[in-house]
Amino acid sequence: MTISDEHLTANYGRFPVEFARGLGTRLWDADGHEYLDFLAGLGVSNVGHCHPAVVAAIQEQAARLIHVGNLFYTAPMVALAERLARTSLGDGTKVFFTNSGAEAVEAALKCARKAKQGGDVVSLHRAFHGRTYGALSATPQEAKQAPFAPLVPGFRACEATAAAVRAAVDDRTAALILEPVQGESGVWPLDDAVLAAAREACDAHGAALIFDEVQCGLGRTGSLWHFEQSSVVPDLLTTAKGLGGGLPVGALIAGPEYAGVFAPGDHGSTFPGGPVIAAAAHAVLDVVTDPRLLARVRELGERLRAELAALPGVGEVRGAGLMTACDLTAGGAPELVRRALLEERLVLNATGPATVRLLPPLVISDAELDEALTRLRRLLSP
C-alpha cells in the first residue's frame, strides 16, 4: 500500500484507500477489494471507468501525436469544436478549449467583461465555479474565499430567486453566472422561473448569461446539456468534468452573440484541445449523446430518488437525472460516507454535514443501482 501524506499538500481530506484499477461502475483497491462507485471521480467518469472506446481512442491517438500546441490545427480538436458547437448554442457558436472547469469559467468571465468593456459579475448564493481567482470570486462561500482575499473586484452574489436575480442585474452588469443545477453545495436544481428571469434580466441590460454546466452537463441530468430541459438558452456555456472521460479538459462554448469577442492574443493556454484529450472526448460524446442512454439516466434518476426517500433517516431528496443528493435527518453525512467506503465498499460524497451526494456513472445497470441502495439501507438501519 502507498498511503502517504509525507509529500502531498494537505489541502484534500483523503480517505485511506488506494485505488489501483477501474472498470465501468467498479473500482478495485490495491488489495483487490471491489468497490461500487457512486461518485465517478466527482462527476467525471460519466461513461464509467476505462470505457473500452475511450481507452482505444487514447491509445491510438497517443501513438500518433500527443501535442503540438495551439499555433496549429489537429483533426481531433477541430472536429471536437464543431461537435460541441453544433450540439449546443446554435449557428455561429465557437469553442475555446481549456484544461479544467475553473479555466472555462475564467474564459467566460473574461469574454463577458471584454464584450461589455468592464462591468460587474453577479453569481448566486450556494454557487460553486472553481478555485482560480475569477472563479473563486464568483463562488460566494466565506470559507473558500476568506483566506485568499482580496478577491477580484466587481463580483457580487444574490439569492437564487427570480425577484433577486431581476434586482441584481443592471446596466453595469457584464455577466450573470449560474449552475442550472448547483452541484458542490448539495445538488439544488434551480427553478425554471429563475432561469427565465436571468435570461430576461440579461437581455434587458446587455449582460451575458453564463450557464456553468461543468457538473450538470454532458448527459448527467438526462440531456446532453441541462439547459435543454429548461426554456432558456444561455449566451455562454462552460463544460469540463465529464468531457475527457477522466482526462483533464474544459471548454467555453460561446453562442453567436459572443463567439467573436476573443481576438488573437486576448486569451490562451499551452495544452488545451490537444489531440489525445480531444480523441477521448469524441469517444465520450459518442456515449453520452445516445438518446437511449439519456432516457435511462432520467428513469434511473427518478427511481434512485424515490428509493432514497424511502430509506430510514433520509429527509429531503433532490436532483435531476443521475445528479442526486439526500439530506440525513440526523446529520452525520461525512461519517456515513466514510463508513460506506470502508465498511460497504460504496463510494459516495458528503457535500456538507447532513448531505450525501450521489453521482454514479451514467452507464450503471439496474442491478448496480439496487446493490448501492441495499448497502445504503444497511448503513442507515438502526
Ligand X SMILES: *Cc1c(COP(=O)(O)O)cnc(C)c1O
Which residues of the chain form contacts with ligand X (CB under 6 A)?
Answer: 100-102, 105, 128-130, 179, 183-184, 212, 214-215, 240-241
H-helix or E-strand containing 96? strand 94-98
| Smallest distance, ligand X to C-beta of residue 247, A | 12
If the CB atoms of residues 22 and 217 are measured against ligand X, the closer one turns out to be 217
Q: Give φ, ψ of 37 to 5 degrees.
A: -100, 105
| Smallest distance, ligand X to C-beta of residue 103, A | 7
Which residues, at least 6 apart from 310, have a Cβ–Cβ distance to it below 8 Å?
none
| Smallest distance, ligand X to C-beta of residue 123, A | 11
Chain residue whose CB lies nearest ligand X: 101
Residues taking part in catalysis: 128, 212, 241
Helices (H) and strands (E) in the chain, counts: 12, 17
Residue whose C-alpha is closest to residue 38's, from 257, 301, 299, 295: 301
If the CB atoms of residues 101 and 360 are measured against ligand X, the closer one turns out to be 101
Give dist(CA 352, CA 332) in Å, integer: 9
| Smallest distance, ligand X to C-beta of residue 63, A | 27
Its sign, for the CA torsion 297, 301, 185, 232, is positive
If the CB atoms of residues 240 and 252 are measured against ligand X, the closer one turns out to be 240
Residue 344 has, within 13 A of its CA and on its CB side, a CA count of 22
| Smallest distance, ligand X to C-beta of residue 240, A | 5
If the CB atoms of residues 127 and 379 are measured against ligand X, the closer one turns out to be 127
Residue whose C-alpha is closest to residue 356's, from 139, 375, 247, 218: 375
Residue holding cell 475564467? 106
If the CB atoms of residues 115 and 187 are measured against ligand X, the closer one turns out to be 187
